[in-house]
């Protein structure tokens, strides 16, 4: 183990000074030391048929660990490392559990109460404690019940349902103002990018109050809320309409459009029936509902969108939401085909029975080069699918991983893929979040979520050249994947700048059935360099062109094939 000398010293903990050790270690060493003591203790109190002597020995070790974690220096280290900070609560719970198993109920509850006073545990965590069989004899204890009530009240303040009122066509003024206030306060206390904005958030709240009161319908109200959050210019900070309004605002035909060199083109068509009507990739969209496409987008789409980069906003404005609208009103498109012919078509937004959805993961070989497309990181089955393909992938002379259309999901899924294409440990992105101390004159400060060192997969290792394809739709967890890949220096990255937005959003409900989220986690490259608000810059930048689209050519993929073939 990395800190084996230090940990061996802890084994002899009764013969040395904890405080002297604590003064000379860093956060990772402190974390490892505490975890070592917890592991040593559980072998005592947690084993089958543990005797009272075993449990007492385990509790003694845990109390030594808690003493160590409460040292002033270790406490200071914990202020910048959430994993180390959480060890105090974990050790306290271990002690409480050991006491409960030993039948010392009062001592068990005492440690749970201390844990509550420490403020590091949520009601959700306490509910898990309540369900733990080790605490079954405490369920009817008045002190234990009272402690549960305290946790519940704490949760109700931050996650209560008072703002979660049902949908109706018109909201009361109190509901409307309450929703705006909730948006304002959640951003004020959680949003991590105010330093990038030239905005007085408190003044903006006051400025929006008249607009909120003037909104007659719930639909109008939510559109105002969307423009309010659009000021924060972040892709993970959004207001979502109530589901009852989806058919009015969010219906769109099975097309993917894109802004290319100042013009808007049909990029993909996901319905054969639309293709039969003459809608094919490469067509230019000139007008929407008789309005020039660029002015239409600026007037009816852009005001409600939030994004941290121009490339992300372009994707939202000219791809995801350009053709969104009422399910009951077809959209009129003036189109120009590759031969210059201009014509108008009325296209329905709904009613298609032949929509072809993109698979989460697809694989093929191109001349003994593996071509793996991963369109999202939303399901852990993706890792199993990758592993099922591994016997084929490992036989290739090179691998292309295409995440150009990957909008994210769970970053842990991407990490598992990366573990299989390296034989050395690699570092993930660190992050930081905001923390407040409620004392006069104190300001917010940063709470660090440090990088992790990830070990390679012991069973699978792809050693051949790897090229990663990225684009403006590469977003969120897919950007975490790209950032780590880039820092690993595992291979070349080709394409466009990524969306430039990742992080962990804080979600909450709004009056009238809608919801919102605000970005509460600020992530960087493993070395601390920023990419949110910029995008991850490929080694080779290839911008899309109308010619490629019209000729069904993929210059990005072709360049990747060229690189791999030239390396062999």
Q: Are 261 and 550 in contact (CB under 8 A)?
A: no
- Alpha helix stretches (DSSP H) within 23-139: 27-45, 52-69, 72-79, 82-101, 105-118, 123-131
Q: Long-range contacts for 247-252 (Cβ within 8 Å, ≥24 apart)?
A: 247/326, 247/327, 247/328, 248/219, 248/326, 248/327, 249/219, 249/324, 249/325, 249/326, 250/324, 251/324, 251/325, 251/326, 251/327, 251/349, 251/350, 252/321, 252/323, 252/324, 252/325, 252/349
How far, in Å, CA of 180 to CA of 221, rounded?
A: 10
Closest alpha carbon to 222 in 246, 201, 258:
246
* Distance separating alpha carbons of residues 346 and 131, to the nearest angstrom: 58
DSSP string, 109-137: HHHHHHHHHHT---HHHHHHHHH-GGGGG
DSSP state of 49: T
Distance CA 82, CA 122 (A): 14
Residue with tokens 């069904």: 552
Q: Are residues 434 and 192 in contact, defined by beta-carbon separation less than 8 angstroms? A: yes
Give the residue among 465, 460, 254, 487 at the shortest CA–CA distance from 355. 254
Contact 377, 409 (CB under 8 A): yes
Distances (CA, A) of 52 to 49, 59, 90, 399: 10, 10, 22, 58
Q: Are 485 and 468 a contacting pair, CB within 8 Å? A: yes
Structure tokens at 73: 């220096």
Q: What is the pLDDT along the chain (568 residues), one digit of tens a residue?
A: 343 444 444 444 443 455 556 667 788 888 888 899 999 999 998 888 899 999 999 999 999 988 888 888 888 787 767 778 888 888 888 998 999 999 999 999 888 888 788 766 676 778 888 888 888 888 889 998 898 888 888 777 777 788 999 999 999 999 999 999 999 999 999 999 999 999 999 999 999 999 999 999 999 999 999 999 999 999 999 999 999 999 999 999 999 999 999 999 999 999 999 999 999 999 999 999 999 999 999 999 999 999 999 999 999 999 999 999 999 999 999 999 999 999 999 999 999 999 988 899 999 999 999 999 999 999 999 999 999 999 999 999 999 999 999 999 999 999 999 999 999 999 999 999 888 777 777 777 788 888 889 999 999 999 999 999 999 999 999 999 999 999 999 999 999 999 999 998 999 999 999 999 999 999 999 999 999 999 999 999 999 999 999 899 999 999 999 999 998 7
CA distance 337 to 546: 11
Residue 325 contacts residue 249 (beta carbons within 8 Å): yes
């Amino acid at each position: 183990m990395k800190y084996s000398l230090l940990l061996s010293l802890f084994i002899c903990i009764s013969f040395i000074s904890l405080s002297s050790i604590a003064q000379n270690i860093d956060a990772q060493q402190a974390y490892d030391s505490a975890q070592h003591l917890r592991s040593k203790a559980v072998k005592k109190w947690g084993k089958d048929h543990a005797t009272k002597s075993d449990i007492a020995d385990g509790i003694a070790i845990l109390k030594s660990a808690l003493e160590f974690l409460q040292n002033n220096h270790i406490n200071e280290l914990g202020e910048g490392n959430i994993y180390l900070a959480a060890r105090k609560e974990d050790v306290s719970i271990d002690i409480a559990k050991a006491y409960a198993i030993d039948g010392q109920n009062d001592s068990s509850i005492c440690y749970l109460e201390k844990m509550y006073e420490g403020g590091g545990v949520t009601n959700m965590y306490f509910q898990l404690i309540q369900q733990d069989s080790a605490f079954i004899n405490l369920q009817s204890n008045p002190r234990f019940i009272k402690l549960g009530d305290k946790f519940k009240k704490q949760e109700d303040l931050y996650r209560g349902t008072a703002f979660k009122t049902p949908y109706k066509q018109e909201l009361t003024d109190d509901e409307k103002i309450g929703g705006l206030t909730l948006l304002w306060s959640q951003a004020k206390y959680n949003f991590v990018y105010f330093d990038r904005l030239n905005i007085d958030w408190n003044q903006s709240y006051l400025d929006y109050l008249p607009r909120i009161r003037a909104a007659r319908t719930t639909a109008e109200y939510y559109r105002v809320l969307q423009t309010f959050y659009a000021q924060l210019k972040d892709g993970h900070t959004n207001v979502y309409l109530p589901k009852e309004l989806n058919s009015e605002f969010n219906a769109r035909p099975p097309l993917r459009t894109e802004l290319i060199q100042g013009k808007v083109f049909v990029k993909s068509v996901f319905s054969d029936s639309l293709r039969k009507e003459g809608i094919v990739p490469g067509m230019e969209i000139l007008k929407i509902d008789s309005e020039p496409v660029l002015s239409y987008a600026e007037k009816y789409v852009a005001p409600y969108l939030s994004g941290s980069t121009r490339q992300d906003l372009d994707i939202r404005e000219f791809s995801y939401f350009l053709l969104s609208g009422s399910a009951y009103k077809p959209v009129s498109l003036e189109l120009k085909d590759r031969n210059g012919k201009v014509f108008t078509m009325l296209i329905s937004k709904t009613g298609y029975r032949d929509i072809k959805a993109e698979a989460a993961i697809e694989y093929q070989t191109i001349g003994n080069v593996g071509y793996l497309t991963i369109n999202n990181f939303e399901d852990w089955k993706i890792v199993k699918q990758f592993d099922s393909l591994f016997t084929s992938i490992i036989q290739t002379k090179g691998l292309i991983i295409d995440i150009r259309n990957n909008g994210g999901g769970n970053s842990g899924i991407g990490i598992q893929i990366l573990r299989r294409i390296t034989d050395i440990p690699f570092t993930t992105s660190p992050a930081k979040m905001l923390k407040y101390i409620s004392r006069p004159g104190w300001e917010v400060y940063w709470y660090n979520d440090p990088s992790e060192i990830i070990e390679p997969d012991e069973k699978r290792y792809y050693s051949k050249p790897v090229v990663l394809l990225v684009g403006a739709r590469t977003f969120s967890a897919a950007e975490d994947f790209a950032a780590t890949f880039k820092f690993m220096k595992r291979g070349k990255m080709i394409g466009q700048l990524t969306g430039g937005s990742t992080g962990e959003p804080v979600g909450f409900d709004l009056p009238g059935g809608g919801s919102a989220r605000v970005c509460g986690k600020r992530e960087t490259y493993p070395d601390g360099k920023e990419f949110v608000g910029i995008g991850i810059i490929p080694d080779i930048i290839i911008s899309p062109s109308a010619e490629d689209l019209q000729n069904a050519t993929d210059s990005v993929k072709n360049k990747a094939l060229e690189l791999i073939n030239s390396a062999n």
